[in-house]
A and B are shown apart, each in its own frame.
Chain A
Amino acid sequence: GQQLNQSPQSMFIQEGEDVSMNCTSSSIFNTWLWYKQEPGEGPVLLIALYKAGELTSNGRLTAQFGITRKDSFLNISASIPSDVGIYFCAGQGGSEKLVFGKGTKLTVNP
């Protein structure tokens, strides 16, 4: 089945630093999604990507749909303490079901 590798598993950074995380897949995806989950809450959609090469921003967040359709990255610029959480990538191929990465746990030290 389709699998996603998300890295890094965790990050400890200082406030103000930029953050980069990525996901790679063993197969081609038609959709890449990035979610953020805070403790005790459901994941919230941050950015959705539907075309290879697409680069989309949402405030300080930028995500790209890799040109090979097998990878995606998420960048966070000038991190702040409220960026803390677990970030999940998700991809979808030809089926209705998304495949999720295992998450990147972000800690921001003030």
Chain B
Amino acid sequence: SQTIHQWPATLVQPVGSPLSLECTVEGTSNPNLYWYRQAAGRGLQLLFYSVGIGQISSEVPQNLSASRPQDRQFILSSKKLLLSDSGFYLCAWSVGGGAGNTIYFGEGSWLTVV
């Protein structure tokens, strides 16, 4: 069966420091991968999605970037964190193919920028 893991689960970082959140999916090949952010426990904002290695689409211009160095690995990064980057970050995956594309989420990572 397919599983998704992301880490770290919680992170407290000072303003201006770098960020790296990592996500891996097991049990499937060539998944679509996503990074979402959720503020204040409500509303899921799509940040990035990827349909293949090295292919990244950005939904919202901001202080963050994403990379997909391997088929089942998705990384969310920042060179210099802002206070507004605090939130709950969720990695997700789906099997490609258009209609009927169900998304499955990871456990989430809490980021607090201080």
- Mark A residues whose CB is within 8 Å of B: 30-31, 33, 35, 39-45, 48, 50, 86, 88, 90, 92, 94, 96-98, 100, 102-103, 105
Contact = CB atoms under 8 A, between A and B. Distances in A.
A86 B44 CA distance: 12
A50 B100 contact: yes
Interface string B2-43: 000000000000000000000000000000100000000111
Contact of A45 (B42, B49, B102): B102
B20 to A, nearest CB: 19
A100 B90 contact: no
Contacts of B106: 42
B105 A31 contact: no
Nearest to A50: B100
A31 to B, nearest CB: 5
A45 B42 CA distance: 16
Contacts of A30: 99-100
Interface in B70-114: 90, 92, 94, 96, 98-108, 110
B56 interface: no
B112 to A, nearest CB: 13
Contacts of B102: 31, 33, 45, 48
Given A40-B110, A43-B90, A102 B100 contact: no
A35 B98 CA distance: 20
A86 B74 CA distance: 26
A98 B101 CA distance: 8
B107 A41 contact: yes
Given A88-B44, A102-B42, A103-B42, A42 B101 contact: no
A59 B99 CA distance: 26
Top 7 A-B residue pairs of the complex, sorted by shortest distance between their CB atoms: A42-B105, A30-B99, A100-B44, A42-B108, A43-B105, A50-B100, A102-B43
